[in-house]
Amino acid sequence: MTLHNPSVKSVQTTDAVVATGVSKVFDAAGVTALDGVDLVVRAGEFVSLIGPSGCGKSTLLRLIADLDEPSGGTLQIFGKSAKQARIDQDYGIAFQQAGLLPWRTVAANIELPLELHGFPKAQRADRSRELLDLVGLSDFGQRYPDELSGGMQQRIAIARALAEKPNLLLMDEPFGALDEMTRERMQTELTRICAETGAAVVFVTHSIPEAVFLSDRVVVMSPRPGRIETVVPMALGPAHERGDQIREDPTFFSMVTAVREALHQGAPARGTDNR
């Protein structure tokens, strides 16, 4: 069913994210979290950020999401300022903790962003049914979050992030708390969702195989100050067309090695504090 939804976006050709010379200094803490970050994420592209703890991955995501402001440089989201993109609901966000409201049903959690933006009740209900179907949880709309497993809650958080049909998903270690089996299932599910929605994704992870499986390109960051060390393109075909079998492909392993080597090149000497 097609909804008449004023926030439905047309197919994007403009780059999803263009960061030019972006820096972020936390003055009070005297920390330069990011320094001279240049990054382009194309429409529909899946890009992962990987790097040691404290290298500024979450900071970069927060700047893109307009949850904080850069100290220098410029950021464009679909050719607009980060603030305008936020106002236009161009992106959805999913973080490590699902962050569902325990007193609302699963469906009411998914509908929350639509409710906040004044969508009529019937449209909200239609959209949450569509999304529950998309994440394979059609029968759970009237349940409460604490009746669901961690993996199911994360799928609901992803459904909520997709509620307003964003052309960009910002995900910060969304599968970090899941067991390995569930995590792999979620990764496969995410590639399917990306294929269906055509959304670009900026995805933060500490897992090299996860980054390799999901991404068109893996951005390796180095700490102090946070910089882009290397960008490794994944020679595995378009990310959204990959199946589970690719995890056993020799090219997959060589990509894992390429990312690991890039990470180690950027690693500080032993004993250096990364934070």
Least distance to ligand ATP, CB of residue 115, Å: 29
- Piece in contact with ligand ATP (CB under 6 A), picked from 56-64, 75-83, 240-248, 252-260: 56-64
**If binding means CB under 6 A, how many residues of this protein chain bind ligand ATP?**
12
128 binds Mg ion (CB under 5 A): no
Closest CA to 247 of 206, 214, 199, 205: 214
- Piece in contact with ligand ATP (CB under 6 A), picked from 53-61, 191-199, 243-251, 260-268: 53-61
d(CA 214, CA 13): 21
76 binds Mg ion (CB under 5 A): no
240 binds ligand ATP (CB under 6 A): no
C-beta of residue 269 within 8 angstroms of C-beta of residue 52:
no
C-beta of residue 216 within 8 angstroms of C-beta of residue 239:
yes
Pick between residue 39 and residue 106 the one whose CB is nearest to Mg ion.
Answer: 39
- Residue from 3, 31, 195, 231 that binds ligand ATP (CB under 6 A)? 31
- Piece in contact with ligand ATP (CB under 6 A), picked from 39-47, 51-59, 235-243, 254-262: 51-59
205 binds Mg ion (CB under 5 A): no
Pick between residue 27 and residue 248 the one whose CB is nearest to ligand ATP.
Answer: 27
Strand intervals (E) in 8-150: 17-26, 31-41, 46-50, 72-77, 91-94
On the question of a cis peptide bond just before residue 70, with omega within 30 degrees of 0, the verdict is: no
Least distance to ligand ATP, CB of residue 122, Å: 40
58 binds ligand ATP (CB under 6 A): yes
58 binds Mg ion (CB under 5 A): yes
Buried b (16+ CB within 10 A) or exposed e, 111-123: bbbbeeeebeeee
The structure tokens listed for 222 are 């180095």
Instruction: Work out whether strand 46-50 and strand 72-77 pair parallel, antiparallel, or are unpaired.
Output: unpaired
The structure tokens listed for 93 are 């966000």
12 binds Mg ion (CB under 5 A): no
Q: What angle do CA 69, 36, 67 make, to 5 degrees?
A: 20
- Piece in contact with ligand ATP (CB under 6 A), picked from 26-34, 132-140, 156-164, 183-191: 26-34
How many Cα atoms sit within 13 Å of 70 on the Cβ side?
23
Pick between residue 66 and residue 88 the one whose CB is nearest to Mg ion.
Answer: 66
Q: What residue ranges bind ligand ATP (CB under 6 A)?
A: 26, 29, 31, 33, 53-59, 275
Q: What residue ranges bind Mg ion (CB under 5 A)?
A: 58
